[in-house]
Amino acid sequence: MLKNRSLRFKLSAFILTGTILVAAVLVSYYYSVSRRLILESARKNARHLTMETVNSIENVFRSAAKIPENLAYVLETGMSDEKGLYRLMETVVKNNSEVFGSSIAFEPGAFFPGQDRFSPYFFKDGDRIVQSNLDDPGYNYHLQDWYQIPKELNLPVWSEPYFDEGGGNIIMATYSVPFRWLNDGMNKNKFRGILTIDISLVWLKQVFEGLSIYDNGYGFLLSQSGKYLVHPDPDNIMNASIFDIAELHQDEKIRELGRKMVRGQTGFVNIIEPVTGREVYLCFAPFPSSGYSMGIVIPAKELFADLSHLNRSVAMIGVLGLLALFGVISLISGRITKPIRRLSEATSQIGQGDFNAVLPVIDSHDEIGQLMRSFQKMQTALAEYIENLKVATAAKEKIEGELRIAHDIQMGIIPKTFPPFPDRNDVDIYGILESAKAVGGDLYDFFLLDEDHLGAAIGDVSGKGIPASLFMAVTRTLLRAKSMNMKDISPGKIVTSMDTDLCTENDAGMFVTFFFIILNLKTGELEYCNAGHNPPFILDETGEITALDTVHGFPLGVMEAEPYQTGKVKIRPGARIVLYTDGVTEAENEARELFEEERLLVTLKKMKDIKDPKEITLSIKSAVKGFTLEAEQSDDLTMLVITYLGRNFNQE
């Protein structure tokens, strides 16, 4: 995606992305740490406030609880006078502002023998203290929770809060303390009755309303069974329990919270308030004496309001900063990449062949300056190189021209006029030399030594190119010189003499395979000498093929050794002598197979009745070309065919 964008764009994109990433990491780290700190501090504050509230309320409950506990002690240690009992109860109600009423309820017969129920009750009615009793058989106090529970548990118990219909319909709770016979011998330590005080719980609401918990936080109070005693929603008070709310909203988390609270656990949790659906933090703690439990609810939104505000500011600063950064990066990257852009334009000019394109001037010593200088050097070097290339190309063209001339000269020293002896009818000759390279190392030659003797030779110089062609020229010159100036000539003598000369000063270590014949045109006697060359074939007048396969020594120029011998055969008129170089037998096709002697012999067999040396030569050539097809010619292709007609032959 970025591939086709400018350097300026990429630079800006990468730097900005990097900056945004770093900023995001920083901000989120800072945010999470701040959040944790705020939460931790809120937890501490909420815990502190909760415990403070619990303690202040506990104090009231504890001090109220002391009253019946002390009274029970008085009863147990011997209060048996009815009037005294009433006086004591009236005093208790009168002197304790938090106490709304107090009762003493006896087991059957435990005060007046034979009386089932005896339960005097004193309570406040405005400023008056009113005496009453709870003996109504329909009410049957022995079966009431305030009596039955402490009796069965044998423990003082705070009751579930209740609406007191008689006492002005206010929420009350009753503290019931069991007391026993202490001194009565028969009933010693036996349960005797219950002593109660009723206290109003109206003040609890005020305590909770006085709590300052952010803007919309609040506190609530649950009874032992999870019922709401204090809650912002009046419909819940003394009606619904936290478990009812959980059930209505099918909220297991709230139910679990309720279970923890009524079991007297303490905690700080993060929940979704079922009614409002807002996220809140809740700190809860129990009241050890009554088994009630309170909670403080802090709306998360308000808790983190400052942080959110700060976050918004940070985000705004961040956005502005990034915009500014974008501007600066854009400017700087534009300035940095400007010379590169100019360089790029210049290089594209150079690329189109304008080596003199003007490069931008840069004084800086940074990478771009270095690049520019390197580029200048490259431009100069390139120009020089192109110049050199021109010179070299010219030189090469000159050499190639000279090679062509050399080839022409080489071809010039080889007899190429056919038929060579148009006046004679006893012999006909045809030869070809096709070089693999412009200048080859093969040679053939023929000449008349006298009226009756024809000298002919074929050779193949080691190597190719100019050296080979020069060596070939020397060989040919030597052949002519030796043949013309030697008395009592024979091929062996001439070849030996040539070898001697060629070996002298042959520092280049070149050599030439050489085959030389002298044919007596009168008699058909054929003398020959083979210095390491392919044996020629004689195709006689009947079509029989014989190889002149005697080899008389190494190729010429290798070393001075024994003199080369001369071989002799006699041929009859109509015989054809086929001389060739290894360019024929070792011609390669594309499969790298060689033409081989066999194919040459097959070709020769077809020439049984053909006397024309040109036709024979060209037939062999076309057989070779038919074999090699498209393969590159690997060696010089040289042949010399001599048809011996003889004098008698023509006369016949």
Closer CB to another protein, residue 248 or residue 405?
A: 248
- Sign of the torsion angle spanned by Cα atoms 625, 629, 630, 631: negative
Residue 243 sits in the site that holds another protein (CB under 8 A)? yes
Q: Beta-carbon neighbour count of residue 476 at 10 Å? A: 19
Please report how close the Cβ of residue 145 comes to another protein at its closest, in angstroms: 5
* Sole window of 23-31, 174-182, 256-264, 373-381 interacting with another protein (rule: CB under 8 A): 256-264
Residue 263 sits in the site that holds another protein (CB under 8 A)? yes
Residue 404 sits in the site that holds another protein (CB under 8 A)? no
Radius of gyration of the chain (CA): 67
Closer CB to another protein, residue 39 or residue 257?
A: 257
Per CB under 8 A, the list member of 19, 91, 132, 144 interacting with another protein is 144
3-state secondary structure of 14: helix
Please give the Cα distance from 645 to 292 (Å, whole number). Answer: 147
Please report how close the Cβ of residue 233 comes to another protein at its closest, in angstroms: 12
Please report how close the Cβ of residue 152 comes to another protein at its closest, in angstroms: 3
Please report how close the Cβ of residue 150 comes to another protein at its closest, in angstroms: 8
Please give the Cα distance from 213 to 611 (Å, whole number). Answer: 133
3-state secondary structure of 117: coil
Closer CB to another protein, residue 247 or residue 434?
A: 247
Q: Beta-carbon neighbour count of residue 88 at 10 Å? A: 17
Please report how close the Cβ of residue 266 comes to another protein at its closest, in angstroms: 16
Q: At what angle do helices 465-485 and 367-413 cross, to 10 degrees?
A: 20
In 3D space, the residue among 90, 76, 176 whose CA is nearest the CA of residue 132 turns out to be 90
Residue 612 sits in the site that holds another protein (CB under 8 A)? no
Please report how close the Cβ of residue 105 comes to another protein at its closest, in angstroms: 14
User: Residue length, the chain?
Assistant: 652
Per CB under 8 A, the list member of 259, 342, 614, 621 interacting with another protein is 259
Closer CB to another protein, residue 248 or residue 320?
A: 248
Given 3-state DSSP classes, what are the helix, strand and coil percentages for the chain, each rounded to the nearest 5? 45, 20, 35
* Sole window of 45-53, 247-255, 381-389, 557-565 interacting with another protein (rule: CB under 8 A): 247-255
Please give the Cα distance from 160 to 68 (Å, whole number). Answer: 18
Please report how close the Cβ of residue 176 comes to another protein at its closest, in angstroms: 11
* Sole window of 21-29, 152-160, 270-278, 405-413 interacting with another protein (rule: CB under 8 A): 152-160
What DSSP line would sit under 230-293, residue for residue? E-SSTTTTTT-BHHHHHHHTT-HHHHHHHHHHHTT--EEEEEE-TTT--EEEEEEEE-TTT--E
Please give the Cα distance from 300 to 39 (Å, whole number). Answer: 9
* Sole window of 245-253, 391-399, 612-620, 629-637 interacting with another protein (rule: CB under 8 A): 245-253
**Host H or E run for residue 162:** strand 162-164
Please report how close the Cβ of residue 227 comes to another protein at its closest, in angstroms: 8
Closer CB to another protein, residue 195 or residue 461?
A: 195
Per CB under 8 A, the list member of 238, 307, 336, 357 interacting with another protein is 238
Residue 289 sits in the site that holds another protein (CB under 8 A)? no
Please report how close the Cβ of residue 47 comes to another protein at its closest, in angstroms: 23
3-state secondary structure of 1: coil
Please report how close the Cβ of residue 192 comes to another protein at its closest, in angstroms: 18
Please give the Cα distance from 267 to 47 (Å, whole number). Answer: 9
Residue 262 sits in the site that holds another protein (CB under 8 A)? yes
Please report how close the Cβ of residue 20 comes to another protein at its closest, in angstroms: 50
In 3D space, the residue among 461, 463, 458, 462 whose CA is nearest the CA of residue 537 turns out to be 458
Instruction: List the interface residues with another protein, window 158-187 (CB under 8 A).
Output: 159-160
Token pair listed for 281: 């933090």
Per CB under 8 A, the list member of 52, 145, 397, 452 interacting with another protein is 145
Residue 240 sits in the site that holds another protein (CB under 8 A)? yes
Q: At what angle do helices 367-413 and 305-351 cross, to 10 degrees?
A: 30
Closer CB to another protein, residue 61 or residue 158?
A: 158
Per CB under 8 A, the list member of 133, 148, 500, 506 interacting with another protein is 148
Please report how close the Cβ of residue 263 comes to another protein at its closest, in angstroms: 7
Closer CB to another protein, residue 225 or residue 425?
A: 225
Per CB under 8 A, the list member of 247, 251, 434, 525 interacting with another protein is 247
Phi and psi at residue 594, to the nearest 5°: -95, 155
Residue 88 sits in the site that holds another protein (CB under 8 A)? no
Per CB under 8 A, the list member of 81, 82, 116, 152 interacting with another protein is 152
Residue 153 sits in the site that holds another protein (CB under 8 A)? yes
Residue 106's DSSP bridge partners are 118, 193
Residue 110 sits in the site that holds another protein (CB under 8 A)? no
* Amino acid (1-letter code) at residue 63: S
Per CB under 8 A, the list member of 56, 140, 189, 364 interacting with another protein is 140
Helices (H) and strands (E) in the chain, counts: 15, 22
* Sole window of 22-30, 144-152, 196-204, 364-372 interacting with another protein (rule: CB under 8 A): 144-152
* Amino acid (1-letter code) at residue 136: D
* Sole window of 150-158, 303-311, 385-393, 634-642 interacting with another protein (rule: CB under 8 A): 150-158
Closer CB to another protein, residue 242 or residue 495?
A: 242
Token pair listed for 199: 């206290």
Tokens 């405005």 identify what position?
A: 126
Q: How many residues in the shown chain lie near another protein by CB under 8 A?
A: 29
Closer CB to another protein, residue 225 or residue 313?
A: 225
Please give the Cα distance from 544 to 153 (Å, whole number). Answer: 146
**Host H or E run for residue 475:** helix 465-485
Read off the DSSP letter of residue 112.
S
Per CB under 8 A, the list member of 54, 157, 538, 587 interacting with another protein is 157
In 3D space, the residue among 514, 520, 518 whose CA is nearest the CA of residue 498 turns out to be 514
* Sole window of 42-50, 255-263, 375-383, 612-620 interacting with another protein (rule: CB under 8 A): 255-263
Please report how close the Cβ of residue 134 comes to another protein at its closest, in angstroms: 13
Q: Beta-carbon neighbour count of residue 220 at 10 Å? A: 22
Instruction: List the interface residues with another protein, window 206-235 (CB under 8 A).
Output: 224-226
Residue 149 sits in the site that holds another protein (CB under 8 A)? yes
What DSSP line would sit under 573-636, residue for residue? TTEEEEEE-HHHHT-B-TT--B-HHHHHHHHHHTTTT---HHHHHHHHHHHHHHHHTTSPP-S-
Q: Is 245 exposed, middle or buried (0-12, 13-18, 19+ CB in 10 A)?
A: buried
Per CB under 8 A, the list member of 68, 156, 193, 258 interacting with another protein is 258
Binding site for another protein (CB under 8 A): 140, 143-145, 148-149, 151-153, 157, 159-160, 224-226, 238-241, 243-245, 247-248, 255, 258-259, 262-263
